[in-house]
Every structure is written in structure tokens, then in C-alpha cells.
Chain A
């Protein structure tokens, strides 16, 4: 530090700071500081995710995080769970295999808009269709950051990107609408500014059984903000503050985002539907009876699990009806 005496609240001893940090048990502190740019929103999302896990009391040994490629793809490397940094677009199928191989895991995919909606778009819609029991956090910064600011399927029309140097002429996906239409059973959206709400929603999504999709709008200062002359990270946060409109339960057909336009936020969808694995088990127990087993579990054991699930699902249904959207 130059120019001033260290203030009393400063912890300039990195080792001590790592150890004292309340997230020390959840982040790979030895890898900090991370690679993301000043004002990038990814770190915020990671903190909120970790806070949600802390609050949920979930056994952190049973959580696995899978990322694809890109800036958000690096999340897996910084969280202290079983974590997998896979190939471009393939986080969801990797997570599908992981979850099905070891159903006691809570598998969370954290990746970006380019990774999940462009190259991985097919996997996104099919995992949603199957109601695969995954939680997917899509950090949407409207651009490919790692490769230098190219246009993505979520870049708003007219926004500038390095591969649409005169402005984007394509129509973007509205990701909550896409997820909802594909069959996701939990769909929400927040921005990097809405840290408390995001944390709460992550907590709910962790408890949700089935395909949960949470889009988080986050600033890319180095590319999206700069190319579009939108200022720095704080300017992005101000935009979120000014243009955000919390609309829990909103019809996902109405939540598209135009260039610097309004952003509808909240939990749009929460419904109960059998997950892929529940459907497999229920179906086979019905048609094959006692001869059915999964990974050595007897039909009686699976049956017991199914009853427990039905009980939980009924209470959950009541809870959804009772509280509605309450973030």
C-alpha cells in the first residue's frame, strides 16, 4: 500500500485473510485472487451461491459443481466442492452423467450464456425437458468474454459486439422463456446487484427437486460495457437498479430484455413434476415390480424412497400454494 498508512480494518496478510474469511471452507482460497476483471459480476454470483449453501446446511461433501468453458467456466476451479471444468457447452450433459451415476449428489451447473445457450443450447432444452434434477446458474453478461466480446444468443438486438461491429441484427433468446417452454420446473432471474434476493433464490433452488434454471444478469466491463460505451461495473449496477422490475410469477413470455431496456426479475416458475430418475424408477417399479433394481437397490428400498418423495412433494406443493412468490 502506498500513499497512506494501512487502515485498521485492512488485512494485508493474505494467508491470515484466507483463513479468517467466512467462506474459507467453501472456496479454494489458495487460488485467490481470481482471474476475473474488475467489476465483473461472476465473483458476486459465486459468493451468493456459497452463502446459499451455507444457509441451507447442505452437506458440502455431497455438492458437485460443473462448469463449461469461458469466464464463468472458471467458477468450478474456485469453489471447494467436487468440481469439474468440462468442455465448451457440455457442462449439462456432464452433470447429467454425474447425477445419474451418484443420485445422492446435488449437482449444480454454473456457466455462462454463450456456453449454456449457444453451443450447449441443445443440452439445456433437453435437460429441462427431462426435468433432470440439476440446478443451473447461467451467468448472462450478453457476450463471450474470454474470447474477446463476440455476439451471443442473448446479446440484445442493436448492441455492439466484436463480431457484430455495427450492432447486433439478430433476435436474442429470452432464457427464462426458453427454460420454461422446455419444461424447467424452477425458473428465476436476478442481476448481480440483487445479491440478497439471488442468495435466497439459490437456497430455494437447492431444495427444489428437478431442473432449476436461474439466470443472473452480470456486468462484463471489459467487453460488453466498453464496446457499447456503457461505462464501468458501477454503471452496469446502476442500470440494473434503475431498470429492474421485480415481477414474481411473471409470464415468461413477457420477460425478454432489449438493449438497456427493462429487466424483469424474480422467481417466475416453480412447479412439481417427477424428475428423470423418479420417472425411471416409478415406471420400472410399476411394470417390472420386484425384479427391478437400480445400482443394487431393491424395489422395496426404491419404493420407500418414492413414498418419502411423494410426502415431501405434497408438503412442497402446499408450501408453493401458500406463500406464492415471496422473495
Chain B
């Protein structure tokens, strides 16, 4: 199964039964798979008129009680940006996969990239936080989609799967475990008395329970700055409460959210920090470097946002250099430089997209880092 199909299967396994989408290369296969599977499993697929309509229909469907997902790539991802802000503001749990392709603009539609890593974090206007996971294989496309749904339900936030064309179109074995072995977090439905229901609770740690339209709560929600009843409350004080909550509910739980994979970091002189397809290319470079006697470790970011700041800070104190290969002109490396704060060298192995790295480029950077 390829990565795109695994995304659709992961969504179905997580209980997603609604998908409003719009075709765009190289993510279309996910929508196609969902459209094919929907009628057999009690779900609904609708191809909307554009990406803006797709993502907005998904937000609407969440408030109608469904678990939802959509998938897109570069230009479509840009079109969805405004509604991601709405989803964050309304604290709407949902999953969006971005099968990254090369930009800017129409760029190289069929070729791989990791160029939307900063856009996913900052792309909608205003301050907010999202969660972004990066799979490195079709199996992880399946697994992380389920995890993304769970995180979305826990924190009432859009969760992004930032895969790329290579992983999306890569065919590998995907093990789909029996349903009873899959951990699924169901929506935290409100159970108390109707008159006491508040759609929001700005406590900065947890998300308030949800209800769905039609259950008799007759609630209101808005993209405007609002109070806990969901009513517009247009004051700087209220905005401070809302924004602080949107950020803190993710930041204060970052330790629980962040997942990384490490190998040989203890005693390493150089550590390669990478994610997604770049981390698979890096493995070869790391093996070659180890064969050449260099002490090199690997840190793979499975969760890119929120960022594993403490981990990078500690790493920077103990290594000579951090090497960061990514399929963009240097995006996540900026965050690593910020956390390293000059305590070690940070070497960016960037690319303008279109093709994965040559392991030699990464090897050269590892050698450069080790020789200082």
C-alpha cells in the first residue's frame, strides 16, 4: 500500500466517517481511496468546489458530530490557511494531511519537498498553536493518522500530517492491526446539565468538552474573540485569555505530545536531526560516517510541532555539531539554531526540493561537523 492510501485507511481505522476534499497532486489518492471505501463503511465523501470549501465543510461536519479528515498539497494547503485559523479559534478537532510538493506556487507538482513546515505553524494569521506529525513510511502514515485523530480529540485542535510526495507514493508493507488493538480516543462529549454547558474553558491546560448541533444545547461559536459561552467579546483582555489558552493548552502538554526516535546519541560528536523522508536518506549517510569512525547519532522528529526545545537544547551542550538535512531552503533548522543558541555548530543541508538528498551531501556535512 502506498502512503496516500495508508492515510485514508488510518482515518477510517480512527473512526473518521466524513471527508470533504478537492483533488490535487500528489495527495489525490487519499481522497480517491476514501471515496471508494466510504459507502462500505458508513461514511460520506464529498468533493467540494475548492480547498476552501473542503476544509470549511470539514469544520462544519465536526460541529455536526463527525470525526473528519481532508488531504491536500501545496497550493491547496495555502488556500486552506484562513480556515485553519477558524478551526483553532473554534477549538475544532480535525486532521489534515499535507502531502508536500515543491513550490512556490505551482512549482513542481509531482515532485517531493518539505517546504510547508513553517507554513503549517505560522500560515494562518494571528497567534495559535497546532500539532504537526511527520511520517517517514506508509506504515507511519497509517499509525500517525490514528494518533493525529487522538491528539485532535484530546486537545481540540487541528492536527497535521506533514508527509511528502515520496512517502505518499512509496509502496511498502502496511500492517493494519485488528480494530481491538488500535487505541482510539473518542470525543470528550459533555454530559452535564444543558443550562450549564459552556463550549470553552480557557484554563490553558485542557480543552472543554464538546457537544454537537442538534442535541438541544443551542450553543454559539464564532471566529471572533469570544467568552466561554462562545459569544463575541471584543476586548484586548478577552483576546489575551483566548490566545494564551490556545497556545498554552499545547505548550503545557508538549512533553506528552512530542514523539521522537533516537539512535546512538550518547557520546556522539555529531547528531543528524531530521524528519520524514529526509531521515530515511540520512540513515545511509550515518552508516557511512560510522564506518569511517565518526561518532554520529540520529534524532528523528516524529512530532515537529510543538518543537522538542529541551531535547535540542541539551543535545547542543553535548555535541560538536547538529546536521539538519531537509527538503527546503532551511526551515526547521531555524528552530534548531534558536534552541542550540550558539552552543554547537548547526549545519543545514538544504535543498530546493524536487528530489531527495544524495546521502553524500549529508555525509559531507557530518564530516565537516566532526572535524572542528
Contacts and interface: CB of A to CB of B under 8 A. Distances in A.
B56 A97 contact: yes
B214 interface: yes
B219 interface: yes
Given A76-B222, A102-B64, A292-B39, A86 B53 contact: no
Interface string A287-310: 010011111110000000000000
B355 interface: no
Which of A96, A100, A101, A294 is most buried by chain B, counting CB atoms within 10 A of its CB?
A101
Interface string B73-88: 0000000001101100
Contact of B42 (A83, A84, A87, A297): A297
A101 B60 contact: yes
A93 B48 contact: yes
B40 A122 contact: no
B341 interface: no
A27 to B, nearest CB: 11
Interface in A53-68: 60-62, 64, 66
Interface residues on A, range: 35 or more
A209 interface: no
Interface residues of B, number: 47
Nearest to B215: A61
A86 B83 CA distance: 9
A244 B267 CA distance: 85
B61 A87 contact: no
Nearest to A283: B39
Interface in B28-78: 39-44, 46, 48-50, 52-54, 56-66, 68
Contacts of B215: 61
A85 interface: yes
Contacts, number: 153
A1 B18 CA distance: 56
A94 B222 CA distance: 12
A98 B49 CA distance: 16
Nearest to A89: B52
B220 A28 contact: yes
Contacts of B224: 85
Contact of A102 (B58, B213, B221): B213
A126 B49 contact: yes
Contacts of B219: 82-83
Contact of A122 (B53, B60, B68): B53
Contacts of B65: 101-102
Interface in B203-235: 212-224, 231-232
A97 B60 contact: yes
Contact of B64 (A31, A77, A99): A99
A87 B83 contact: yes
A81 interface: yes
B42 to A, nearest CB: 4
Contact of A295 (B44, B220, B221): B44
A94 B220 contact: no
Contacts of B50: 122
B57 A64 contact: no
B91 to A, nearest CB: 13
Contact of B44 (A80, A83, A280): A280
Which 6 A-B pairs have CB atoms at the shortest separation, nearest pair first?
A101-B64, A97-B60, A97-B57, A85-B222, A101-B61, A97-B61
11 contacts: A82-B214, A84-B60, A85-B223, A87-B82, A90-B86, A94-B60, A96-B48, A97-B61, A98-B64, A102-B64, A104-B214
Interface of A: 28, 31, 60-62, 64, 66, 76-77, 80-87, 90, 93-102, 104-105, 122-123, 126, 276, 280, 284, 288, 291-297
Given A77-B220, A292-B40, 4 more contacts: A84-B220, A87-B56, A90-B83, A102-B66
